[in-house]
């Protein structure tokens, strides 16, 4: 049972002010009567804020349960100065950061006749974190708008450079050394173009036109773009689809880009070398598998898995893998997987990375549609509300 001061030892207006600051109404029985002491204990125990009563000597003579939860149970009889030295780590004019990490607002009220004071500690940690997140969100929005503007402005000079570059390639067709330099310039240009496209997709937040996507067509196009990349690196690519035709509501090019990006990451992780002897000197392999699943109780879904037998990912990498601009490669932008997650979320799906020992597995869950008619019906409904 927490000790509380009898109400007669505190001024009525002090208790009323404390209760008002916490939006707790003072009961009618708080008027001076025989039941006042009981009412005061009930009010103090019910307050969500910590209340600490300090006597004239600076020692704590009363606390409510919230104070004990915030600062510990051994407060009664302790010096308030000792509690400050022990529990307060950072202070400013109106707020204090406790040693446990909480941020509290400090309010004080002196008692009559120099009997001491009442200290009120209000935990504002959640509110402060919400403010910080809101400010970070606003900065990211501004950054996204700036990136989109810069990317659009860069596209025009790059398009002009591409025209002149193509003309040079047609005119110079004999000197092998010059050809190699032109090829290097082309790779630099394509890298810049991809970076700009990635920034625009990320800035848009995955907003793309949706239509019916055939899983068969999606896997066929993936095979066309992924096989040459794997063959060039000496990596075996396996595509395992489903026998039945399945339709998705989504964007064909966006989904193809996500899967291509995952395969490119696997190719770069495996490299042109054999794996270490720890895995039996196996050749590099990438397996893409698609199978139907159930999402929830009533919804059909699709699971897409891209797995490789590369070196895997560290725990630190997995923690930050989908964060914008996080990369372990010297020439990477760190936007590929962030964009992949944005696009999958735009399709109503989820993407996660699974790593156990050697190898990395990316797993994508997507909802499927029953028929083309259902997609057309949804599109008509959306158009009617625009």
Express each pLDDT in 33-77 by its tens digit.
444 445 667 777 777 888 999 999 999 998 888 888 888 888 888
If one compares 371 and 332, the residue with the highest pLDDT of the two is 332
Q: Is 368 within 8 Å of 246 (Cβ atoms)?
A: yes
Question: Angle of helix 336-346 relative to helix 252-270, nearest 10 degrees?
Answer: 150
* Whole-number pLDDT of residue 205: 65
Least-confidence region, from 123-127, 254-258, 297-301, 305-309 = 297-301
**Predicted confidence band at 281 (pLDDT cuts at 50, 70, 90)?**
low
Which pLDDT score is estimated for 218?
A: 92
1 part of a folded domain: no
**Domain end residue (candidates: 58, 93, 123):** 123
Domain end among 123, 155, 173: 123
Strand partners, 354: 361
Asked if the model's pLDDT at residue 340 lies above 70, the reply is yes
pLDDT of residue 307: 93
Residues 217 and 199 placed together within one structural domain of the fold: no
Q: Which of 3-12, 176-185, 206-215 has the lowest mean pLDDT?
A: 3-12
Q: Are residues 146 and 46 in the same domain?
A: no
* pLDDT, greater one: 264 or 101: 264
- Please tell me the predicted confidence (pLDDT) of residue 351: 94
Query: Is there a single domain that holds both residue 160 and residue 304?
Result: no
Question: In the listed set 156, 174, 204, which residue is the last one of a domain according to the structure?
Answer: 204
How is residue 364 written in tokens?
């994508």
Pick the residue with more confidence: 354 or 39?
A: 354
Same domain membership, residue 251 and residue 184: no
Q: Are residues 240 and 188 in the same domain?
A: no
Q: Is residue 308 part of a domain?
A: yes
Residue 128 lies in a domain: no
* Per-residue pLDDT, 357: 67
* Whether residue 83 is found in the same domain as residue 98: yes
pLDDT at residue 364 above 70? yes
* Segment among 205-219, 276-290, 347-361 with least mean pLDDT: 276-290
Lowest mean pLDDT among 171-180, 283-292, 338-347, 369-378: 369-378
pLDDT score, position 275 = 44
The CATH code of the domain that includes 240 is 3.30.565.10
Q: Residue 170: helix, strand or coil by DSSP?
A: helix
Statement: residue 114 has pLDDT above 50: yes
Q: Above 60 in pLDDT, residue 1?
A: no
Count other C-beta atoms under 10 Å from residue 321's C-beta. 20
Answer yes or no: do 333 and 228 share one domain. Answer: yes
Same domain, 223 and 350: yes
Q: Is the pLDDT of residue 273 over 80?
A: no
Element (H, E) at 295: strand 285-295
Q: Which domain holds residue 95?
A: 7-123
For residue 370, the 8-state DSSP code is: S
- Mean pLDDT of the 198-213 span: 75
Q: What is the CATH number of the domain that holds 43?
A: 3.30.450
Q: Is residue 48 part of a domain?
A: yes
- Residues 368 and 219 grouped into a single domain: yes
pLDDT exceeds cutoff 70 at 293: yes
Residue 52, H or E segment: strand 50-55
Does position 151 have pLDDT exceeding 60, yes or no?
yes
Is 116 a member of any domain? yes
Band of pLDDT at residue 375, cut at 50, 70 and 90 = very low
As for how many domains the chain has, the answer is: 3
Between 292 and 190, residue with greater pLDDT: 292
Helix, strand, coil percentages, rounded to 5, for the chain: 50, 20, 30
pLDDT value at 295 more than 80: no
Residue 246 confidence (pLDDT): 85
Q: Give dist(CA 78, CA 263) in Å, integer.
A: 64
- CA torsion, ordered 36, 41, 44, 45, to nearest 10 deg: -150
* For range 275-288, the mean pLDDT: 65
| Same-domain pairing of 190 and 276 | no
382 — pLDDT class (breaks 50, 70, 90): very low
Of 81, 15, 80, nearest to 49 (Cα)? Answer: 15
Which residues neighbour 232 within 8 Å (Cβ) at sequence distance 6 or greater?
none
Please check whether residues 361 and 231 belong to one and the same domain.
Answer: yes
> Checking DSSP bridges between strand 236-240 and strand 285-295, what pairing results, if any?
parallel
Residues 6+ apart with CB under 8 A from 196: 151, 154, 155, 158
């Amino acid at each position: 049972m927490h000790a509380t001061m009898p109400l007669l030892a505190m001024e009525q207006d002090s208790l009323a002010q404390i209760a008002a600051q916490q939006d707790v109404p003072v009961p009618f029985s708080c008027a001076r009567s025989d039941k006042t002491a009981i009412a005061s204990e009930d009010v103090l125990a019910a307050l969500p804020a910590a209340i600490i009563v300090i006597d004239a000597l600076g020692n704590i003579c009363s606390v409510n349960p919230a104070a004990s939860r915030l600062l510990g149970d051994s407060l009664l009889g302790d010096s308030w100065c000792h509690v400050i030295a022990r529990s307060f780590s950072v202070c400013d004019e109106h707020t204090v950061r406790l040693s446990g990490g909480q941020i509290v607002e400090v309010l004080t009220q002196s008692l009559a006749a120099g009997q001491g004071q009442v200290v009120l500690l209000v935990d504002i940690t959640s509110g402060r974190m919400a403010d910080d997140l809101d400010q970070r969100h606003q900065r990211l929005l501004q950054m996204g708008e700036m990136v989109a503007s810069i990317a659009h402005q860069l596209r025009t000079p790059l398009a002009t450079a591409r025209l002149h570059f193509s003309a040079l390639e047609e005119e110079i067709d004999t000197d092998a050394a010059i050809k190699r330099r032109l090829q290097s310039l082309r790779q630099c240009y394509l890298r810049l173009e991809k970076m700009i496209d990635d920034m625009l997709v990320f800035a848009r937040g995955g907003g793309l036109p949706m239509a019916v996507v055939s899983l068969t067509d999606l896997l066929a196009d993936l095979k066309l773009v992924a096989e040459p990349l794997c063959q060039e690196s000496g990596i075996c690519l396996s595509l395992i689809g489903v026998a039945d035709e399945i339709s998705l509501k989504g964007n064909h090019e966006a989904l193809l880009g996500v899967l291509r990006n995952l395969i490119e990451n696997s190719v770069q992780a495996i490299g042109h070398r054999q794996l270490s002897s720890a895995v039996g000197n196996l050749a590099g392999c990438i397996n893409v598998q698609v199978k139907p699943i159930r999402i929830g109780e009533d919804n059909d879904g699709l699971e897409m898995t891209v797995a490789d037998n590369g070196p895997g990912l560290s725990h630190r990498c997995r923690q930050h893998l989908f964060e914008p601009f996080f990369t372990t490669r010297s020439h990477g932008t760190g936007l590929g997987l962030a964009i992949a997650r944005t696009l999958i979320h735009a399709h109503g799906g989820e993407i996660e990375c699974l790593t156990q020992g050697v190898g990395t597995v990316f797993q994508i869950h997507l909802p499927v549609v029953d028929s083309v008619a259902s997609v057309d019906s949804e599109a008509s409904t959306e158009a009617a509300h625009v």
